[in-house]
Amino acid sequence: MVTCTATDIAGNNVQTTFKVTVMDQTPPRFDLAAGSTITFETTASTPCCDDPVGSVTAAYTLPTAMDYIGTESSTGLVTVSCTPAPGTVFAFGSNAIVCSAKDALGNKVENVGFTLDVLDKTKPVLTTPADITAPAISTLGANVDFSLPTATDNNGAPSVSCTPAPKSFFTIADSPTMVTCTATDIAGNNVQTTFKVTVMDQTPPHFDLAAGSTITFETSTSTPCCITIVTYTATDAYGNSGTAVQTVTVNKDETPPVIGSVSDITRDATLPQGVVVTFTPPGASNAVDPGVTTTACQPPSGTTFPLGTTVVTCSASDKFGNSASKTFNVIVVFRSGCTWNGFFSPINNIDDNVVTTTQTLPLKWSLGGYYGVATLIDPAYPKLVTLSSCDTIIAKDTDVSGYTASSEGLTYDASTTQYQLNFKFSGKVTSKKCYRLELKFNDNACSIVRTLKIRVKWRG
């Protein structure tokens, strides 16, 4: 109430009154700006079973609002409502909601838009398969097939995988093997379960001979000894067993000795009448009679064998008169002469060998045996013959510049029957020239000139 007074100069006055009323006419305001995002996350307890696939009943929290005079919605004096309301079925992802707020005096704000993000945080439900026991199909194990476990989810059908996968090979040695299965939904939530696969040997042993087969054993007697029915039982490490029945008939020994292997012998004649050849007679054995006499050979070891081919016969017999024999040839020849198969790798026997002006090149060959060192090579050799020009087929040439020896000279390796000649090019060749390297041996059988082509590099 406001009182107003008027007074004149004589002191007379008069009064009147009127009312001033102050009212809250300002609507509330939301704590979040319009267009803000509200998040709702599903949990394992969130209802799912009655909701359509890909959606969920979202009991989200309403946004808060404050009155202009400081009264919050939490006091109950400001009320907030949204459409769709909490507890409505929403699709996973972003959803639009519209909210209003009203204070106790009826002031209100309407149609404020927000985004409700419904996030799937619920893991799929995955069944656990029963453990599997499978029979081995080999000594190692077996491929075991199984069905993937079933899985359900509130957001579509989850993917299911197992490690090891169905039809994988499971070993006996690693049994039982733990299989881990994982179900993952489209939101990335996953759950795992495990079960065991055990591969066991469940196959009984089998005999190499068919049941009822006859085994014959020869003895030292002159008449049959006996016939016996034998039952065999075999059990493996896993307790599987099998049986077989056989008839065993024992007869006298009619098996000849077995003589060891023999090979022909070739020797060079060292005397006009031939050469003395020694050898070890082959051994002999008999599965029934261990007392086989030692083999005897004719002509015997240590005999002087003449030029040509002599047949040697080796014989063995046991105490029951069973005998066997084998033959081999002793071949006596004059000195057989050398063999030549070209220079050994990396030498190119057809096209150019590329060298440097300072290189010492190791040349290797074999003549099939030892023919001496000091007098093997003709005194006029080795020698280099300069060619008038180089051919142009460089692609087939062989670069041997990386092969070098420390010094010149000829050597022989008895273990490989190889000769090696280290030939030094320093002072004998010129860059960018081509040569023919010639080599000749003194022995009549090898006296042909052997050659190889040399191409000298521009530098080095």
Domains in the chain, CATH or no CATH each: 29-119 (2.60.40), 125-200 (2.60.40.10), 214-252 (no CATH), 258-333 (2.60.40.10), 353-456 (2.60.40)
Give the pLDDT confidence score for residue 329 in this predicted structure: 94
Q: Compute how many other C-beta atoms are within 10 angstroms of the C-beta atom of residue 224.
A: 11
The b/e string for 159-190 (b: 16+ C-beta within 10 A; e otherwise) is: ebebeeeeebebebeebebebebbbbbebebe
Burial class (CB in 10 A: 0-12, 13-18, 19+), 381: middle
Dihedral angle computed from the Cα positions of residues 66, 70, 71 and 74, in that order, rounded to the nearest 10 degrees = 60
Residue type, 142: A
Query: Which tokens in the block code for residue 36?
Result: 């803000």
The encoded tokens of residue 377 equal 């090579």
Short-list 322, 321, 323, 364, CA closest to 340: 364
Q: What is the pLDDT of residue 292?
A: 63
Q: What DSSP string describes 191-225?
A: EEEEEEEEEE--PPP--SSPTT-EEEEEESSSS--
How would you class 240 by CB atoms within 10 Å of its CB: exposed for 0-12, middle for 13-18, buried for 19 or more? middle
The terminus-to-terminus CA distance of the chain in angstroms comes to 123
Q: Tell which residue, 122, 125, 135, 136, has the closest CA to residue 92.
A: 122
Give backbone dihedrals phi and psi of 451, rounded to 5 degrees, phi first. Answer: -135, 155
How far apart (Å, rounded) are the C-alpha atoms in residues 292 and 82? 111
Label residue 337 exposed, middle or buried (CB < 10 Å: 0-12, 13-18, 19+): middle
Q: Does the N-terminal peptide bond of residue 52 adopt cis geometry, omega within 30 degrees of 0?
A: no
Q: Give the sign of the dihedral formed by CA 223, CA 232, CA 234, CA 203.
A: positive
Euclidean distance between CA atoms 107 and 101, whole angstroms: 8
pLDDT per residue as tens, the chain (460 positions) = 889 989 999 989 898 998 887 666 778 888 777 778 888 887 755 555 566 777 788 888 888 888 766 555 555 578 888 989 888 888 888 888 899 988 878 888 888 888 888 888 888 999 999 999 999 888 899 999 999 999 998 888 899 999 999 999 999 888 899 999 999 988 889 999 999 999 988 777 776 766 666 666 555 444 445 667 777 676 766 677 667 666 666 666 677 888 888 899 988 655 546 678 999 998 888 766 666 666 789 999 999 988 679 999 999 888 777 888 999 999 876 455 667 888 999 999 989 999 999 999 999 998 876 677 888 899 999 999 999 988 887 888 899 999 999 899 999 888 888 999 999 999 999 999 999 999 998 765 577 889 999 999 976 5
Task: Say what the pLDDT of residue 235 is.
Answer: 75
Pairing of strands 88-91, 55-58: antiparallel
Instruction: Compute the radius of gyration of the chain from its Cα atoms.
Output: 54
Judge whether 348 and 342 are in contact, CB under 8 Å: no
pLDDT of res. 295: 77
Backbone φ and ψ for 354, nearest 5 degrees, come out as -85, 125
Which residue carries 């039809």 as its tokens?
Answer: 167
3-state secondary structure of 177: strand
